Amino acid sequence: MSILVVRQDEKISDWVSALQQCDPEIPIIDYRDSHQPSDVKMMLVWKQPQGIFSTYPNLECVSSMGAGVDFIFEDPSYRKQIPMTRVVDPLLVSDMEEFVSAQIYNYLKGLHIYTGNMQQALWEQKPYLRKSDVSIGILGLGVLGSATAMSLSKQGFKVQGWSQSQKIIEGVSCYDGTALDVFLSQSDILVNLLPLTPQTRGILNANLFSKLPKGSFLIQVARGPHLEEKDLLEALDQGQISGAALDVFSQEPLDKNHPFWTHKKVLITPHCASISAPSSVAPQIIDNYKRLLKAQTLLNQVDTVKGY
């Protein structure tokens, strides 16, 4: 029995070696190498080739290499009765907290404006904001959302969060499903950390933007398809949204001709807010494999009905 590692970029070898180092006794297989499909008990995947799951008759667990699992649900060959797990990792959490904080401070102090001004040797002081000037709204209070909300609150920001079901987080005003409009009306900076499900696809749209205070700033660090890109461009042009830091896109890499690249109010990063570190994540994958062998409850299991 083995763990099959599936990923279509060069990072696959880092994952294979991290797992091998973690437990040299367990057969770890790169999916491109020859192997017997019936031996595969567990698959560790990231943006796998579509249809791959139907090849493995004895699959008992599919693990995502990251926090998100949307790309597994979207594969028609994945059957919901196969348990699915995702990564919950302290580095993934602190990386996200740091990235969102960096974007917030960049926005408050207008640092990206000065980067632009340097191209023209332009010496021009701009007004700036302070923590006390803004209220931050975190959309999605899962592992990453609640940790980010808590971290920002500890840094002295006024923070509120919204999630489908009611949460209680120290220092954070939590709103649930029914109170989205109230939450939005108080979010000067909106951070999207929702899971991507059929319910949340396209949630960042004109209707949602219209409920934010005029001139709000958007930080999009979840999944590209949450955002209606045309609606954002319109909201930016109308000044309803004053700027956006976008880390994820419906199509990645972002097309070279996409209007976001040249938009003055948009800051683009290449899906790098928080990236799983194989050596940090490997122990929980190996632990889950051993749990599978002993028919024990898996760590970080995804609710395949809810989709996150």
- By CB under 6 A, name the binding residues for ligand GLV: 66-68, 276
Q: Least Å distance between CB 24 and ligand GLV?
A: 26
Interatomic CA distance for residues 296 and 301, integer angstroms:
12
| Token pair for 114 | 């000065």
User: How near is the Cβ of 211 to ligand GLV at its closest, in Å?
Assistant: 26
Token duo for residue 167: 């949460």
Cβ distance to ligand GLV smaller for residue 195 or 243:
195
CB of 283 to ligand GLV, least distance (A): 17
Tell me whether residue 95 or residue 228 sits nearer to ligand GLV (CB atom). Answer: 95
**Whose Cβ is closer to ligand GLV: residue 7's or residue 265's?**
7
Q: How many CB atoms lie within 10 A of CB 18?
A: 20
Nearest in space to 244 (alpha carbons), one of 274, 272, 209: 209
Tokens 């696809």, located at residue? 201
Closest distance to ligand GLV from the beta carbon of 269 (Å) = 12
Q: Catalytic residue at 223?
A: yes
How distant is the alpha carbon of residue 291 from its chain centre? 27
Nearer to ligand GLV, 47 or 109 (CB): 47
Do residues 229 and 221 lie in contact, with contact meaning Cβ atoms separated by under 8 Å? no
CA distances from 143 to 44, 248, 276, 300 (A): 20, 18, 14, 11
Question: Of 112, 263, 271, 291, which is the active-site residue?
Answer: 271
Number of alpha helices (DSSP H) and beta strands (DSSP E) in the chain? 9, 12
Residue with the CB atom nearest ligand GLV in the bound state: 66
Question: 174 or 302: whose CB is closer to ligand GLV?
Answer: 302
| Closest separation in Å from C-beta 73 to ligand GLV | 13
Residue of 223, 226, 263, 291 with catalytic role: 223
Nearest distance from C-beta of residue 275 to ligand GLV, angstroms:
7
Nearer to ligand GLV, 200 or 276 (CB): 276
Phi-psi region of 295 (alpha: psi -120 to 50; beta: other; left: phi over 0): left
Contacts of 240 (CB under 8 A, 6+ apart): 209, 210, 212, 214, 215, 216
- Can you tell me the distance from the alpha carbon of 186 to that of 174, in angstroms, rounded to the nearest whole number? 12
DSSP of 203-245: -BSHHHHHTSPTTEEEEE-S-GGGB-HHHHHHHHHHTSEEEEE
Say if CB 263 and CB 237 are below 8 A apart. no
263 carries an active-site annotation: no
Active site positions, annotated: 223, 271
